[in-house]
């Protein structure tokens, strides 16, 4: 750290220069995050000094967190759902599995059964909680094979997870069957809808994945992905608010006496931003945004196939994966799945113009 400070102009100019080294969003075709909605950005300053970790000081901001959970619970077909705003999908998945573990103190060598598509946050979770992670293989179309999943469940299984909107292929597992398997074995059922939670409800033909499915205990759903909020804002949703009680620790010297969240200090600004977007767009706004992303996804698929690539699955969401074909033109950020397929995420910043420019580059070879 330097002895002397710099002027405001020097600091801003330095940071602008470094920021310019980042890849421009016009070339990012691989991310599940996007440019936040202007209304999420507009409320940052108003809430920048708020800390949801000490709710007695910020009862107004806490009310907004409650409204955010209520709106999302409602979207997940359970207006009475509990939960809280997390730092993202990893914390949501971790906390859900912690709850599952607390409910099963009898399990001597606890394990969880997850789909092959499960996000790496489950690796972190199992590492921290000392759980065995049993991975059920893919069946048709990169959805988990539920029969093989059922075979992996045993008396030590504390939770079964499904993914609604897989990171690699954007597929939605058969949540109804998975929840039934969990129920039959009396274990917890968590749905990782970090990405899909704000896409699937707005598709022309929604797929069952949420609390409307009997047996689903918890859902992770990230506003900082398709909810256009600033980072960090994830949400853990629970069928019953009381399920959080088992995570409580005593919090002397705060305005509340118990805390169930992973973090202590928690940002109000990102939560307010997430709620602002939901309130501003409403279901209609989300539907129209998702429709646009899906149209661009279809256009990308058609364009790529015209250039000799083959779709790996029919996109269910705004994620597309391809095999074969040639190389990806320089300057574009795409990614690859573990199976070596080219992978694209058609976030709102990937506009029709961007898709056309990319396809033109691909066509030029």
Q: Which residue has the tokens 């980042």?
A: 22
Interhelix angle 121-129/89-102, nearest 10 degrees = 40
Partner residues linked to 83 by β-bridges: 237
CB of 253 to its own copies, least distance (A): 5
Question: For residue 108, what are the contacts with CB-CB under 8 A and spacing of at least 6?
Answer: 156
Is residue 205 part of the contact set for its own copies (CB under 8 A)?
A: no
106 binds its own copies (CB under 8 A): no
Q: Is 20 a residue that touches its own copies (CB under 8 A)?
A: yes
Residue 80: CB partners within 8 Å, gap ≥ 6?
Answer: 73
CB 216 within 8 A of CB 76: no
| Torsion sign across C-alpha atoms 226, 230, 232, 234 | negative
Query: Which of the residues 155 through 194 are near its own copies (CB under 8 A)?
Result: 167-168
DSSP for 185-247 reads TT-EEEEE-TTGGGTGGGSSS----STTSTT--EEEE-TTTTT-PPSS-EEEEES-GGGGGGG
Those residues with Cβ within 8 angstroms of residue 302's Cβ, 6 or more apart along the chain or in another chain: none
Query: Counting contacts by CB under 8 A, is residue 58 touching its own copies?
Result: yes
CB of 120 to its own copies, least distance (A): 5
Instruction: By CB under 8 A, tell whether 232 contacts its own copies.
Output: yes
Q: Which is nearer to its own copies, 170 or 215 (CB)?
A: 170
**C-beta of 138 vs 275, nearer to its own copies:** 275
Number of CB atoms found within 10 A of residue 302's CB: 11
104 binding its own copies? (CB under 8 A):
no
Least distance from C-beta 286 to its own copies, angstroms?
A: 8
> Which residues from 296-355 bind its own copies, rule CB under 8 A?
333, 335-338, 343
365 binds its own copies, rule: CB under 8 A: no
**From 99, 116, 118, 119, residue interacting with its own copies (rule: CB under 8 A):** 119
Q: DSSP label at 9?
A: H
Judged by CB under 8 A, the residue of 137, 264, 326, 331 near its own copies is: 264
Stretch that binds its own copies, among 123-131, 132-140, 293-301, 355-363 (CB under 8 A): 123-131
Decide: is 41 part of the binding site for its own copies (CB under 8 A). yes
Name which of 277 and 362 has its Cβ closer to its own copies: 277
Smallest separation (angstroms) from its own copies to the CB of 105: 12
**CA distance from start to end of the chain:** 48
Query: H-helix or E-strand containing 132?
Result: strand 132-136
- Piece of 30-38, 236-244, 324-332, 354-362 that binds its own copies (CB under 8 A): 30-38
Q: Is the dihedral of CA 114, 115, 116, 120 positive or negative?
A: negative
Whether 62 contacts 181, CB under 8 Å: no
Query: Nearest approach, Cβ of 327 to its own copies (angstroms)?
Result: 17
Find, among 87, 164, 82, 156, the residue nearest to 124 by Cα.
87
| Interacting residue with its own copies among 152, 203, 262, 307 (CB under 8 A) | 262
Q: Angle at the Cα of 33 (from 31 to 39), degrees rounded to 5?
A: 150
Closer CB to its own copies, residue 46 or residue 152?
46
Kindly state the smallest distance separating residue 155's Cβ from its own copies, in Å.
20
Candidate segments 151-159, 236-244, 252-260, 309-317, binder of its own copies by CB under 8 A: 252-260
Q: List the interface residues with its own copies, window 277-296 (CB under 8 A).
A: 278-285
**Between residues 123 and 184, which has the closer beta carbon with respect to its own copies?**
123
Q: Is 300 helix (H, G, I), strand (E, B) or coil?
A: helix
Query: CA geometry: angle at 143 spanning 139 and 149, to 5°?
Result: 65
Residue pair 77/109 in contact by the 8 Å Cβ criterion: no
- Closer residue to its own copies, CB minimum distance, 286 or 309: 286
56 binds its own copies (CB under 8 A): yes
């Amino acid at each position: 750290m330097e002895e002397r400070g710099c002027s405001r102009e020097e600091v801003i100019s330095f940071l602008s220069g470094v920021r310019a080294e980042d890849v421009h969003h016009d070339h990012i075709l691989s991310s599940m995050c996007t440019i936040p909605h202007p209304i999420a950005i507009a409320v940052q300053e108003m809430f920048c000094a708020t800390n949801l970790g000490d709710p007695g000081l910020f009862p107004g901001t806490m009310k907004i967190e409650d409204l955010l959970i209520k709106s999302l619970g409602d979207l997940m077909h359970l207006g009475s759902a509990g939960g809280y705003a997390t730092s993202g999908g990893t914390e949501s998945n971790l906390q859900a599995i912690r709850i599952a573990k607390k409910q099963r103190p009898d399990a001597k060598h606890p394990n969880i059964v997850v789909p092959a598509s499960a996000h790496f946050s489950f690796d972190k979770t199992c590492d921290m909680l000392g759980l065995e992670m049993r991975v059920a293989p893919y069946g048709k179309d990169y959805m988990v094979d539920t029969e093989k999943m059922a075979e992996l469940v045993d008396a030590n299984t504390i939770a079964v997870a499904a993914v609604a909107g897989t990171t690699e292929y954007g597929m939605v597992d058969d949540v109804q069957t998975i929840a039934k398997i969990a129920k039959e074995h009396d274990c917890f059922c968590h749905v990782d809808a970090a990405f899909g939670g704000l896409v699937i409800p707005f598709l022309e033909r929604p797929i069952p994945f949420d609390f409307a499915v009997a047996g689903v205990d918890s859902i992770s759903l990230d506003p900082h992905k398709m909810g256009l909020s600033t980072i960090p804002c994830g949400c853990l949703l629970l069928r019953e608010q009381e399920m959080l009680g088992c995570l409580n620790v005593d919090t002397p010297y705060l305005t509340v006496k118990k805390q169930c969240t992973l973090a202590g200090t928690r940002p109000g600004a990102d939560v307010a931003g997430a709620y602002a977007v939901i309130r501003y767009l409403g279901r209609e706004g989300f539907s129209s945004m998702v429709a646009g992303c899906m149209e661009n996804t279809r256009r990308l698929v058609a364009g790529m196939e015209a250039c000799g690539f083959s779709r790996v699955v029919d996109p269910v969401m705004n994620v597309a994966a391809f095999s074969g074909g040639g190389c990806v033109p320089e300057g574009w950020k795409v990614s690859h799945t573990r199976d070596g397929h080219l992978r694209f995420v058609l976030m709102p910043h990937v506009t029709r113009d961007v898709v056309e420019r990319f396809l033109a580059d691909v066509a030029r070879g």
